[in-house]
């Protein structure tokens, strides 16, 4: 848990804040961050003291009483996630990059909505259990009114980056955590969500959190800017900065322009650059009232990669800034790409308008092993025979189960999924069997039906069944035998029609031998066992890549994959793992700017040397001088580094000319210069 000295210090601090007056009085007279700390106040940042005062005024929040986070069920979590689908797609890559920045130091990267509900989290797999024990998992509500002072909830209230270090937390149960969080806002300044990094390690000092807060703030700015450019992709955007080299970096200012050169929206950096205040001060004003300079050139909407950087002046403050107008332009179609075949008919329900991966034939592809699994599933799916799926983590067991459900006679009834490894032991019973209103402390006033009752007549998918606690195995076995379920706290029996598909990446037979899984339940679930082929062993991998690209393409235009990128995808030794392939393709779709997925857009942990492209794209045929420093071990990255270095030196580090010669935007070139650490010799 935490050292007793920390607990004692926390108790003393809470007592000293509480002794300043009644909670209502404390709330009415919060600590002003600009004022000196009152005599006797604990040595905590002013923002933390303010948060504690709010918590003391919150009924039901006791710093010494354990309080579990509310965890949203799948339906409510889906309702929270859908409005932020665009942001979540953009965030996939940034979450991974941010996690890599902490390099195995025990941090988890978390993205929440504006209320503090965790929508995505990334961490080292070895930390999953520890983070779940702390309550940091998808669906958990970390709002300040629910769990007191914490990085996520307090960032939402403060509206700015915060660090909540160990005993800064209001609840004693959380003083082992260290959290740094930053807000993410939309172009109108409304809160979209919070980006947070948290760890359970006890050896992190408060001073060391400055870097964590800086990194998470930088990533939040990147996501804000990407979201801004995506929302205003149909308009011109003036991208500017007080220094020319700052354009394209996270600190750049963005000003969206209407056809009449009036300001539609600004990001936070632009608002600060132009004097601060409310966004309404700038929105709707003619750009000529805000900036001085050659504004006529901005009316033509020259695309960013062809425009040139111009100098402007702030009308009110007189400061200089440099910028160019960027406007998204649909790229010309290339003929050297692998492009998914257009479907004959696109169902309106398919996300993104692309291929639907939820069909057995699509998932089976032309791989013999998967075709056999699909054929056997079809033989038993309407005969109430339990199906046990075995395959490595990420092989698409849930996707396969959904496809079986959709192909069965039960397709109009519910498909309900439960990951037995992702739910704490204390909650799995109520999740499975449901509970009556008031059955236990913290129970919903309306009660809950439970996953078994929700799936009645449809399909119940139990993922990672091997991790189900033994007591729950006994209760599940009884439900299978009687087709009856009794919710917690209720005496009334509920009849169910149960059809189960269970899945595991572990050897259940061996777990039976080890005494960790009930033998009778194993035979109940093992009506037929289907083995799913790992992605790296499939003979139709290129076909699967194109199908996944078609399914994840939400851009409204055709996308292609270069030969180099396809070679990298085929050479990568996927650890399973259709889920990882979907994430990689989804990220690449969000990152590609020309309608073409290049190697640089593939967020792979490593690219094997065998992934080198069979042929080198035209810009890379330029002969380059010997490198001044060490090259990457990856031949593709090394070749890219030398081509960019040669282009920059040939054009004397003129960014516009170099970008034009390499057929890329200046923004892309700036990112590559920063990524490779290039500088003029």
What is the average per-residue pLDDT within 412-436? Answer: 81
Reply yes or no on whether the pLDDT at 278 is more than 70.
yes
633 contacts: CB under 8 Å, gap ≥ 6: 609
> By percentage, how much of the chain surpasses pLDDT 90?
22
579-613 pLDDT per residue, tens: 788 888 888 888 887 788 888 888 886 534 333 33
pLDDT: is 102 or 204 the higher one? 102
Structure tokens at 640: 């890219």
| Domain final residue, candidates 293, 326, 359 | 326
Categorize the per-residue pLDDT at 300 as very low, low, confident or very high, splitting at 50, 70 and 90. Answer: very low
Categorize the per-residue pLDDT at 344 as very low, low, confident or very high, splitting at 50, 70 and 90. Answer: very low
CATH number, domain containing residue 272: 3.30.450
Which strand (E) or helix (H) includes residue 111?
strand 107-113
Other C-beta atoms within 10 Å of 441: how many?
A: 8
Residues 520 and 395 in one domain: yes
CATH number, domain containing residue 493: 3.40.50.300
Any domain includes 123: no
Reply yes or no on whether the pLDDT at 297 is more than 90.
no
Any domain includes 608: yes
Average pLDDT, the chain: 79
Residues 311 and 404 in one domain: no
223-252 pLDDT per residue, tens: 999 899 988 988 889 988 888 878 878 889
Least-confidence region, from 123-137, 199-213, 458-472: 199-213
Long-range pairs for 519-522: beta carbons < 8 A, 24 or more residues apart: 520/477, 521/473, 521/476, 521/477, 521/480
Reply yes or no on whether the pLDDT at 10 is more than 50.
yes
How many angstroms from the chain centroid is the CA of residue 423? 19
Other C-beta atoms within 10 Å of 308: how many?
A: 12
Any domain includes 515: yes
251-263 pLDDT per residue, tens: 899 999 988 889 9
Categorize the per-residue pLDDT at 681 as very low, low, confident or very high, splitting at 50, 70 and 90. Answer: low
Domains identified in the chain, total number: 3
66-97 pLDDT per residue, tens: 888 889 988 888 889 989 988 998 888 788 88
HEC string for 430-445:
HHHHCECCCCCCCCCC
Least-confidence region, from 337-346, 481-490, 638-647: 337-346
What pLDDT does residue 312 have? 87
Any domain includes 288: yes
What pLDDT does residue 677 have? 75
Residues 316 and 373 in one domain: no
Any domain includes 49: no
Residues 281 and 394 in one domain: no
pTM exceeds cut of 0.85: no
| Domain final residue, candidates 300, 326, 352 | 326
- Find the domain containing 274 and state its range: 232-326
| Domain final residue, candidates 294, 326, 358 | 326
Residue 597 bridge partners (DSSP): 561
Give one DSSP letter per residue of 136-191, joined into a string. -STTBB--HHHH-S-HHHHHHHHTS-EEEEGGGSSSGGGTT-EEEEEEEE-TTS-E
Residues 568 and 666 in one domain: yes
Residues 388 and 297 in one domain: no
Torsion of CA 204, 208, 211, 213, to 10 degrees: 70
What pLDDT does residue 306 have? 41
Categorize the per-residue pLDDT at 119 as very low, low, confident or very high, splitting at 50, 70 and 90. Answer: very high
Contact indicator for 369, 539 with CB cutoff of 8 Å = no
Residues 275 and 382 in one domain: no
Any domain includes 188: no
Residue where the block lists tokens 């007056």: 21
Any domain includes 263: yes
Highest mean pLDDT among 110-119, 131-140, 568-577: 110-119
Any domain includes 471: yes
What is the average per-residue pLDDT within 499-512? Answer: 90
Categorize the per-residue pLDDT at 615 as very low, low, confident or very high, splitting at 50, 70 and 90. Answer: very low
Contact indicator for 564, 636 with CB cutoff of 8 Å = yes
Categorize the per-residue pLDDT at 499 as very low, low, confident or very high, splitting at 50, 70 and 90. Answer: very high
Residues 505 and 564 in one domain: no
Residues 521 and 399 in one domain: yes
Categorize the per-residue pLDDT at 627 as very low, low, confident or very high, splitting at 50, 70 and 90. Answer: very low
Other C-beta atoms within 10 Å of 246: how many?
A: 19
Which strand (E) or helix (H) includes residue 91?
helix 85-101
How many angstroms from the chain centroid is the CA of residue 39? 44
Categorize the per-residue pLDDT at 345 as very low, low, confident or very high, splitting at 50, 70 and 90. Answer: very low
Residues 528 and 566 in one domain: no
Categorize the per-residue pLDDT at 303 as very low, low, confident or very high, splitting at 50, 70 and 90. Answer: very low
Residues 526 and 576 in one domain: no
Residues 517 and 383 in one domain: yes
- What is the spatial distance between Cα 213 and Cα 202, in angstroms, rounded to a whole number? 18
Categorize the per-residue pLDDT at 621 as very low, low, confident or very high, splitting at 50, 70 and 90. Answer: very low
Categorize the per-residue pLDDT at 333 as very low, low, confident or very high, splitting at 50, 70 and 90. Answer: low
Work out the angle between the directed axes of helices 541-552 and 563-571 (0-180°, nearest 10).
120
27-47 pLDDT per residue, tens: 434 444 444 444 455 567 888
């Amino acid at each position: 848990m935490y050292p007793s000295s920390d607990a004692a210090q926390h108790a003393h601090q809470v007592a000293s804040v509480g002794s300043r007056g009644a909670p209502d009085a404390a709330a009415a007279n919060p600590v002003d961050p600009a004022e000196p700390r009152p005599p006797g106040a604990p040595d905590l940042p002013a923002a933390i003291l303010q948060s504690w005062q709010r918590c003391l005024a919150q009924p039901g929040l006791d710093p010494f009483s354990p309080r579990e986070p509310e965890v949203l069920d799948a339906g409510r979590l889906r309702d929270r996630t859908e409005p932020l689908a665009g942001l979540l797609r953009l965030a996939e890559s940034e979450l991974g990059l941010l996690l890599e920045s902490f390099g195995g130091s025990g941090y988890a990267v978390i993205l929440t909505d504006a209320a503090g509900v965790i929508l995505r989290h990334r961490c080292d797999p070895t930390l999953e259990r520890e983070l779940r024990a702390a309550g940091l998992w998808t669906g958990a509500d970390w709002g300040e009114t629910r769990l007191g002072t914490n990085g996520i909830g307090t960032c939402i209230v403060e509206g700015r980056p915060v660090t909540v270090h160990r005993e800064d937390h209001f609840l004693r149960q959380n003083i082992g955590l260290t959290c740094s969080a930053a807000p993410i806002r939309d172009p109108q300044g409304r809160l979209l969500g919070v980006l947070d990094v948290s760890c359970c390690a006890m050896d992190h000092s408060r001073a060391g959190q400055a870097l964590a807060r800086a990194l998470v703030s930088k990533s939040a700015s990147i996501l804000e800017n990407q979201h801004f450019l995506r929302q205003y992709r149909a308009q011109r955007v003036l991208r500017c900065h007080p220094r020319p080299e700052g354009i394209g970096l996270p600190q750049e200012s963005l000003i969206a322009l209407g056809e009449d050169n009036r300001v539609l929206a600004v990001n936070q950096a632009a608002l600060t650059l132009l004097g601060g205040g409310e966004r309404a001060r700038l929105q709707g004003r003619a750009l000529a009232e805000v900036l001085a300079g050659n504004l006529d050139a901005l009316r033509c909407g020259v695309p960013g990669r062809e425009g040139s950087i111009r100098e402007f002046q702030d009308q009110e403050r007189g400061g200089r800034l440099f910028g160019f107008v960027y406007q998204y332009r649909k790229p010309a179609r290339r003929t050297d790409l692998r492009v998914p075949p257009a479907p004959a008919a696109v169902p309106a329900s398919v996300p993104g308008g692309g291929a639907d991966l939820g069909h057995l034939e699509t998932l089976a592809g032309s791989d013999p092993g998967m075709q056999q699994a699909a054929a056997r599933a079809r033989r038993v799916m309407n005969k109430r025979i339990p199906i046990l799926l075995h395959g490595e983590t990420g092989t698409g067991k849930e996707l396969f189960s959904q496809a079986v459900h959709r192909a069965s006679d039960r397709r109009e009834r519910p498909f309900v999924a439960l990951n037995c490894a992702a739910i704490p032991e204390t909650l799995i019973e109520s999740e499975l069997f449901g509970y009556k209103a008031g059955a236990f402390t913290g129970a919903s006033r309306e009660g809950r039906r439970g996953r078994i009752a929700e799936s009645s007549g449809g399909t119940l998918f139990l993922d990672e069944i091997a991790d189900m606690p033994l007591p729950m195995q006994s209760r599940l076995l009884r439900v299978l035998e009687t087709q009856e379920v009794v919710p917690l706290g209720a005496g009334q029996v509920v009849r169910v029609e149960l059809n189960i598909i269970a899945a595991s990446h572990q050897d259940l037979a061996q777990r039976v031998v080890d005494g960790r899984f009930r033998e009778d339940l194993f035979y109940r679930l093992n009506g037929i066992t289907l083995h799913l082929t790992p992605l790296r062993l499939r003979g139709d991998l290129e076909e699967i890549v194109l199908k996944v690209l078609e399914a994840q393409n939400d851009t409204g235009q055709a996308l292609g994959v270069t030969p180099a990128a396809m070679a990298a995808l085929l050479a990568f030794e996927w650890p399973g793992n259709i889920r990882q392939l979907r994430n990689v393709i989804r990220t690449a779709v969000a990152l590609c700017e020309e309608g073409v997925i290049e190697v640089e857009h593939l967020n792979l942990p490593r690219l094997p040397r065998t992934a080198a492209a069979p042929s080198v794209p035209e810009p890379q045929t330029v002969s380059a001088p010997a490198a001044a420093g060490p090259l990457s071990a990856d031949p593709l990255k090394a070749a890219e580094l030398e081509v960019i270095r040669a282009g920059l030196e040939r054009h004397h580090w003129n960014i516009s000319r170099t970008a034009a010669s390499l057929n890329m935007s200046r923004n892309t070139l700036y990112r590559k210069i920063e990524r490779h650490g290039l500088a003029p010799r």
